[in-house]
């Protein structure tokens, strides 16, 4: 199987990252690619943006995609840990049973960072194969640490392979009776109480399937860290989004390298020549005049705020191409996606 061209979109909350991801996917499909867009954002907006029902399997999206094809997928984070454990322990039914009974596992079921991402990427890997996907767009969680998941499985794999887990699993041996070793072990036993057995059991079972874990991790790395993957940071013209973008760019540079572009959503005011025509026309009533004035005042303030943020982004990240998208006011999210896709078509390099 040949690896798809991959775009990973990251950004803070509320910047329109999912909408931009959907628009990018549509742009690529219109260029003739077979595109899969995957959202690992727990906010689940992708289905809304594309106007379709989505889940853990790739679904074809009916939009005018020219010669290409557009598929979308939105795995449910609530199922992640369960799916993950099922995949990991596919060949170890007894260990799986023990794991499901582990109280620490039951508590962690929804709370392990990076787990949802890893599961989503495993499902993506399968969908890419099944639908002969040539371009992949990944919409990450809206967080400053959205890209940290790339390093998480590796850290966990190292942890599972290290002395630490051997030591911890030893705590649970001798028919489940805990035998803490040394001073640290005794302290641990005193602090954790009965939970020490669950902790040791949890890591002990995970260590058993370490090989499988490493395999999944390599699949994910191939999709996300290969020479055909690029990273896009999405921002909006607000101070918070600007700071989130700066933070994400620093993280990306540390983890992978410089992002391919910085997308600034809602950064261009729509063309307003019509407002001038109306302001000078005798047909314009007083009520219309007041409405136009309200809209113009708002547009001006927005333009000023956005100009300030865009300039500061350009100054701070002079070496990253900046793609400005228009401010789109439309009722249907799908229409917004269409309009942003048109704007992106002249910005995304072939």
Partner 1 sequence: MTPDSASTLQASIDALPRLAPAIFVTGKGGVGKTTMAAGLVCAAVDAGTRAVLVEFGDGASGRRALGQARDRIEHVIIDPRRAVMQAAGPVFGSPLLAKIALGNFAMKPMINSAPALRELAVLELCRQTVVDNPGARVVFDMPATGHGVAWLRVAEQIGKLTRRGPLYDVCARVQNELLKPGRASIAVVTLPERLVLTETLELCQQLDEEVGLPVDRLVVNRVPPVPEAQALTDARRVAAAGGDVGAAAARLVEVLSVRSRMRAEVVEVLEQVALHEHARGLTRLPMAPADPHGPEVAAWLREAGAA
Residues 140-169 that bind partner 1 (CB under 8 A): 141-144, 152, 155-156, 158-159, 162-165, 167-168
Bridge partners, residue 73, by sequence: 38
CB 228, min distance to partner 1, A: 29
x/- string (CB under 8 A) for partner 1, residues 51-70?
--------------------
Query: How many C-beta atoms lie closer than 10 Å to residue 346's C-beta?
Result: 8
Query: How many C-beta atoms lie closer than 10 Å to residue 329's C-beta?
Result: 11
Size of the site for partner 1 (CB under 8 A): 74
Q: Which of residues 229-258 bind partner 1 (CB under 8 A)?
A: 236, 238-241, 243
Side-chain-facing half-sphere of 334: CA atoms under 13 Å: 9
CB 310, min distance to partner 1, A: 13
Selected binder of partner 1 within 1, 174, 175, 194 (CB under 8 A): 194
CB 48, min distance to partner 1, A: 5
Structure tokens given for 267:
């950064």
Instruction: Considering the complex, state which of residue 107 and residue 255 has its C-beta at the smaller distance from partner 1.
Output: 107
Q: Which of residues 204-233 bind partner 1 (CB under 8 A)?
A: none
CB 192, min distance to partner 1, A: 6
185, 172 Cβ separation under 8 angstroms: no
Instruction: Considering the complex, state which of residue 45 and residue 208 has its C-beta at the smaller distance from partner 1.
Output: 45
Per DSSP, the three-state class of 69 is strand
Using a 10 angstrom Cβ sphere, with 0-12 exposed, 13-18 middle and 19 or more buried, the burial of residue 172 is: buried
The residues near 319 (Cβ < 8 Å, ≥ 6 apart) are: 258
Selected binder of partner 1 within 67, 94, 187, 311 (CB under 8 A): 187
| Strand order across the 135-139 sheet | 59-60, 69-73, 34-39, 135-139, 5-11, 229-235, 261-268, 322-326
Taking alpha carbons only, the member of 113, 155, 148 closest to residue 255 is 148
The region of 64-72, 191-199, 226-234, 254-262 touching partner 1 under the rule CB under 8 A is: 191-199
Q: Which of residues 8-47 bind partner 1 (CB under 8 A)?
A: 12-15, 42-43, 45
Per DSSP, the three-state class of 53 is coil
CB 252, min distance to partner 1, A: 17
Q: Can residue 112 be called a binding residue for partner 1 (CB under 8 A)?
A: yes
Instruction: Considering the complex, state which of residue 3 and residue 302 has its C-beta at the smaller distance from partner 1.
Output: 302
Instruction: Considering the complex, state which of residue 154 and residue 222 has its C-beta at the smaller distance from partner 1.
Output: 154
x/- string (CB under 8 A) for partner 1, residues 290-329?
xxx-xx--x--xx-xx-----------------------x
Chain CA centroid to CA 54, Å: 16
- Widest distance between CA atoms in the chain: 93
Instruction: Considering the complex, state which of residue 4 and residue 12 has its C-beta at the smaller distance from partner 1.
Output: 12
Q: Which of residues 258-287 bind partner 1 (CB under 8 A)?
A: 273-275, 277-278, 281, 283-285, 287
If you search the block for the tokens 């070793």, which residue do you land on?
Answer: 181
x/- string (CB under 8 A) for partner 1, residues 79-108?
------------------------xx--xx
CB 5, min distance to partner 1, A: 28
Instruction: Considering the complex, state which of residue 4 and residue 105 has its C-beta at the smaller distance from partner 1.
Output: 105
Instruction: Considering the complex, state which of residue 144 and residue 334 has its C-beta at the smaller distance from partner 1.
Output: 144
Sign of CA dihedral 113, 5, 246, 268: negative
Strand 229-235 to 5-11 pairing:
parallel
DSSP H or E segment with residue 27: helix 17-30
Helices 182-192 and 163-171 meet at what angle, rounded to 10?
60
């Amino acid at each position: 199987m040949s690896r798809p061209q991959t775009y990973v979109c990251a950004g803070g909350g509320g910047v329109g990252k999912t909408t931009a991801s959907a628009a990018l996917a549509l742009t690529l499909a219109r260029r003739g690619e077979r595109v899969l867009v995957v959202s690992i954002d727990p906010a689940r907006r992708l289905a809304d943006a594309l106007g379709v029902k989505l889940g853990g399997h790739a679904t074809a999206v009916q939009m005018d995609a020219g010669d290409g094809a557009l598929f979308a997928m939105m795995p449910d984070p609530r199922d992640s840990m369960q799916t993950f454990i099922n995949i990991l322990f596919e060949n170890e039914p007894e260990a799986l049973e023990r794991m499901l009974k582990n109280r620490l596992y039951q508590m962690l079921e929804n709370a392990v960072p990076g787990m949802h991402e890893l599961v989503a990427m495993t499902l993506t890997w399968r969908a890419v194969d099944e639908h002969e996907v040539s371009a992949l767009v990944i919409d990450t969680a809206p967080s400053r640490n959205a890209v940290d998941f790339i390093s998480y499985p590796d850290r966990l794999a190292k942890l599972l392979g290290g002395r630490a887990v051997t030591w911890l699993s030893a705590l649970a041996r001798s028919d489940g009776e805990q035998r803490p070793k040394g001073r640290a072990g005794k302290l641990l036993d005193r602090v954790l109480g009965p939970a020490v057995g669950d902790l040791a059991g949890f890591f002990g079972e995970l260590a058993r399937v370490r090989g499988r874990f490493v395999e999944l991790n390599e699949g994910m790395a191939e999709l996300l860290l290969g020479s055909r993957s690029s990273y896009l940071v999405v921002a909006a013209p607000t101070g918070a989004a600007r700071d989130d973008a700066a933070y994400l760019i620093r993280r990306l540079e540390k983890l992978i390298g410089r992002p391919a572009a910085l997308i600034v959503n809602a950064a261009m005011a729509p063309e307003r020549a019509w407002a001038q025509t109306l302001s000078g026309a005798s047909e314009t009533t007083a009520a219309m005049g007041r409405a136009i004035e309200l809209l113009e005042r708002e547009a001006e303030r927005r333009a000023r705020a956005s100009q300030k943020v865009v300039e500061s982004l350009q100054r701070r990240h002079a070496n990253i191409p900046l793609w400005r998208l228009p401010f789109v006011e439309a009722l249907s999210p799908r229409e917004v996606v269409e309009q942003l896709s048109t704007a992106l078509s002249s910005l995304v390099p072939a």
